[in-house]
Each structure stands twice: as structure tokens, then as C-alpha cells.
Structure 1
Amino acid sequence: MGDAQIGRVLEEAANGRELVFHAIALGPHGVEHKGRSLPWGRVGEPRVVNGRFHVKEEGRRSLAMDVPVSAIPNFPVFRTVAKRLHGAARRP
């Protein structure tokens, strides 16, 4: 998926659309997995550790979300979109 396609996906999120990547969803307001949602403002830096996508809540040591990368279709696009949405929410 090229920059233009990622741009379209980001535009969909900016327009309020939730982007579902099988086991996990991203939206303009946060991330959701297994019925738990976490606003971007409370998400620590999302990371990949040992083939798993980890989301920590700011100020907490335990993981809020732990998803195998193999369960997230088109992971490179997912990761790019997650980083951009997270970064946009963190800017003043």
C-alpha cells in the first residue's frame, strides 16, 4: 500500500470512521481490542515486541492490549496508521 492509499485510510479515520483490522480497531479517538477501548491520549507508545503488538496505558506497567501481529491483516498499513493517529493525538 502506497502513501496515497495510507493517506486515504488516514482521511477515513479523520472523518470519524473506525478502521477494523480483524482483531483490533483504530479510530480518530483511540484503539479498541476485545471490547476494551483506550483513547489515544492515554496510550503510551505502541510497540511490536516478539511478534506481538503491545499497547500500554500511560502510567501503568501492565499491557492494556496484546495482539499477535499475525492476527492483524496488512500489518504495515496498520502500524503506520496507528503511529500517525497516536502522534496526532499527542501533539498540542
Structure 2
Amino acid sequence: MISSLVEETNRYALQQKSLELKYTCKEIEQFLGILLLMGIVKLPHMSMYWETATRYPPVADTMVRYRFKNIRQFFQVNDSSKAVRKGNAGYDPLFKVRPLVVK
């Protein structure tokens, strides 16, 4: 599953910005772990997990803020280029997360 997330995230970054960012399985695992931690330990602004005064080491020591934001910008579960528009035959309202639903 993680390797599929890596593949789709890398594909989306390439489609959107022509950037070959080459995210890794380890980075996507770290990204997902950070999201879980942020859901448990809530701060008013995402950047506060990395700021000096409010730094939260389990997040800040796992991944630099720039890389986290970069992954968040391009994170994908499914190939968005294959999505069918609403109103057309074959439209799937869960397309973006379908691989998570069926596995």
C-alpha cells in the first residue's frame, strides 16, 4: 500500500509541476505518522510543530517542515488523470480514496 502511495504522489508531482521529487516509502510512512501525531497533539498552526518556541520533537525531528509541506502538496492515493468527471458515466465519488477502500 505504501509503495502505491509513493508511486501516485511522485506521479502527481510530475504531472503538476514537472518535478521529479522521488519520494520514498520511508518518507511517506513518516508523513502519515506525522499526520497522526498532529491529530493527537494539536497546535493552532501547522508551522508551530517546527518553530523554536513551540517545537514538537516527535514531528520536527522526523522530517523538516519544507519536505512535509512538499509531500502534503502532492500527496495522492489514486491517479487523478484517470478520474471521470461528475455527471459522466463511470463517475466514482470515492475515486480519490478508492484504493484505500478496496484494500
More strand by proportion, 1 or 2?
1
TM-score by length of 2: 0.29
Q: Whose radius of gyration is greater, 1 or 2?
A: 2
Kindly indicate whether structure 1 or structure 2 has the higher relative contact order, using CA contacts under 8 Å at least 6 residues apart. Answer: 2
